[in-house]
Chains A and B, each alone.
Chain A
Amino acid sequence: MKPVNNKSMIAFLFDQMEKLDKNEIDVQKAREQANLSKQVNNAMKYELDRAKVKMELASHNAIYKDGLDLREIESKNF
């Protein structure tokens, strides 16, 4: 499986649109690719929100001398 970041996702989607324009992929495949991409976008949005919460926690901890932390729910290696 190829690692994906947001930039590579965007490049992939532009590529798919071009392929669709040239009829190199059919509408069904384009739809499925778009649906999968939406799931990747959701995961990336989650990462963005997580980064925001970590920022807020760091600020909170600095002000209130607290040790709140965001639980790592995906730290287990498979």
Chain B
Amino acid sequence: MQIEYVKGKIMEGRQSGFPRQYGPERSDHQPGIPLFPQEATRDLVVTFILVAMMFFLSAFVTPFLGPARGPQLSELIVPDWYLLFSWGLLKVADIFPQFTIGQGTPLKTEFSAAFWGDLLSGIPVIFLLILPFIDRGREARPAKAPVRSAFGLAFLIAWIFTSSLYSIREVVAQRWVSPNGAALIPDFTMKWFFIIPPVLVGLTSYIALRRLGYQPMRRWLVPYVAGLAAIVVAQSAWILFDPAGLGVEARPFTVEIAIALGIIAVPTVAVAAAVLLAPESTARKVSTWAGALGLIGFLAFYGGVAYLDQPRALGWVLSVLWPNMNTLVLIPMFAVLTAWLGTRRPYSTYEYLLNECYQCGKCHTVCPVTKVEDDALGGLNLVYNTFKKQHDGVPLWTCLACDACSAVCPLDIQYSDYILEERAKVHARMAADGGQRE
């Protein structure tokens, strides 16, 4: 028979059945790379590339030396980037109350700014050390552990990014000034950077990651986005309508400021309304458009005011926006971004759930059908065949749906549910094609 001949040619020199990956009967001797000479060569090449890059940098970018040390403090000293976070924490520690306890005793402890700074720098280390003991879950993948990922991102923003930024607050204050000489991003705003961006990043990433897992996130999304929109509207309204909102010098530029606030607030409110009132697909489209148009609008406004109007106007507009950067720049951005991320189409169900499989092979080992069948081209492992997109074929219909595989699966994947779904789909296809109703 022709089919026998073809099968014979395919199976020439190969074992039948699904390769066994573990144990003494291992049959899948996978081509790995021996250490010598292949892996050694590969590593050597990568190392040489790295060292070559270092040579290049050293030859063309000489590290700074400068004058010798001396008791006079020269201009602003900036430590290397990896210690900026600690320096920033030292500086921000001046918000904490300073006092001394145990004055006059040997255990005198002075809660100075430096001490608070030490404590703050020590918190990440303590957290890192106890981390494996407080997180005992099994889930490794970042997308499936949204709390850990969100918390980690928020932590990074707060303790690394913002504190490094804060450590150069004097430089920032000197470089960016408003037309009346005040700092564009005052100290107060920079201190709020420790709270607002981390919280925003944490909540947004949590919502986005949960959404990947086919969870409807409306219960989180609506209060979050609506709340952020309310903050933006409240802040804009206060700036425009409260007499203390705009400084005297910024008064003449109220129109431009109002336009800027409008460009910021309108997309945010539109997105919040869409999330609250419209179905998900509409909300998704609204947030995409709102984000794109808001960004383009803001850039157009920026360019327009800078080049068509007097440049001083731009300075005054920024002097209103930048001190309120948390509420007028970051919050609108995150509101729109979160609405978009939280209304994305989820993955299809069974493909996504089956993706959890990490091919431990236990299901294949216990499946009774595999003990009596051998398939020429790879075996009757259902997961394997799913990934090869061979749904409709021998594996699907030979399955006994006895769930022996589900019983041993460490990830608790229910294969019989998958079988049910797929078989029903085949029949639906047959019926749709006008086939005989079985």
Real binding pair: no
Residues of chain A whose beta carbon lies under 8 Å from any beta carbon of chain B = none
- B contact set with A: CB distance below 8 Å: none
